[in-house]
Chains A and B, each alone.
Chain A
Amino acid sequence: MPVTDVRRKTQLFAVISVLSNVAGNSALTHGMTQLGGVGNTPLDLIGALFHPWVAIGVTLLIVWTFAHMALLSWADLSYVMPVTAIGYVVTAFSGKFFLGEAVSPMRWAGIVLITAGVTLVGRTAPASSTMDGNTK
């Protein structure tokens, strides 16, 4: 597969992975908060899955799992892990726009640093190695 196709496919799956993870965790947290105290027995946890927000959250996290696995089937862990860290920035912005949370100068600095780091790693080749040590 041409390098440009790998990069495009990687970008698409990284976006799916980040958005499904952030939205899934938010939906799950929202659902669990609405439910209040959930017991620790397996039956209590299974019962929680029928809450709409919890179900949406779990579904999105299944999408995240598949997208993350697909990414790792062709891209390096040392590429996927930092690039998907842009999720911290997406979470901060969704907190600002959806929940009206204030973004302090310190958090803005964090956003700039993470974005710069993700950009740097994102400019490297997504797949650099094979298990036998050959560089592609």
Chain B
Amino acid sequence: MKWVLVALCVTSTVVGDVFRSLGMRHHGEIQDFRPGAIGSAMGAIARNWMVIVSTCAMAVSFFSFMKLVSIAPMSFAVPMSAITFIPETLLAKFLLREAVDRQRWIGIALILFGVVFISQ
């Protein structure tokens, strides 16, 4: 059960983040932060299918993480949830075509080890 929840949490988080990034990139840069403009931006974003997929995946991620911490210690759940950094960075590079240079990879590796240490 524990590993099923880890797999569900990691997969849904990756899907949620990648689709959110795709959806927001499709929407375009938000530049106007006046309340009316934010309202109309939210309206447009709410109709974006990629953002809808992302929101559903984020909900699955949230509830699966909640369930995971109810049956496993935080020192297990938090580092496991940080595994998402690896597939997300790979997808950012190969699917979203972001320029992930060596500095970013080293930074992400340091953060991953840091999350393992900080959760103990």
| B-binding residues in A (CB < 8 A) | 1, 66, 68-70, 72-74, 76-82, 85, 88-89, 92, 104, 106-107, 109-124, 128-131, 133, 135
Contact = CB atoms under 8 A, between A and B. Distances in A.
A1 B51 CA distance: 25
Nearest to B27: A73
8 contacts: A69-B51, A70-B24, A76-B92, A76-B98, A88-B114, A113-B114, A124-B104, A129-B97
A107 B107 CA distance: 18
Contacts of B101: 124
Which 3 residue pairs of A and B lie closest in terms of their CB atoms, listed nearest first? Answer: A110-B118, A110-B117, A113-B114
Interface in B1-33: 17-18, 20-21, 24-25, 27-31
B120 A106 contact: yes
A89 to B, nearest CB: 7
Given A69-B20, A124-B104, A81 B88 contact: yes
A88 B120 contact: no
Interface string B86-110: 0011011100111111011011111
Interface in B45-90: 45, 51, 78, 82, 84-85, 88-89
Given A72-B20, A92-B118, A114 B111 contact: yes
Nearest to B112: A117
B17 A77 contact: yes
A118 B38 CA distance: 29
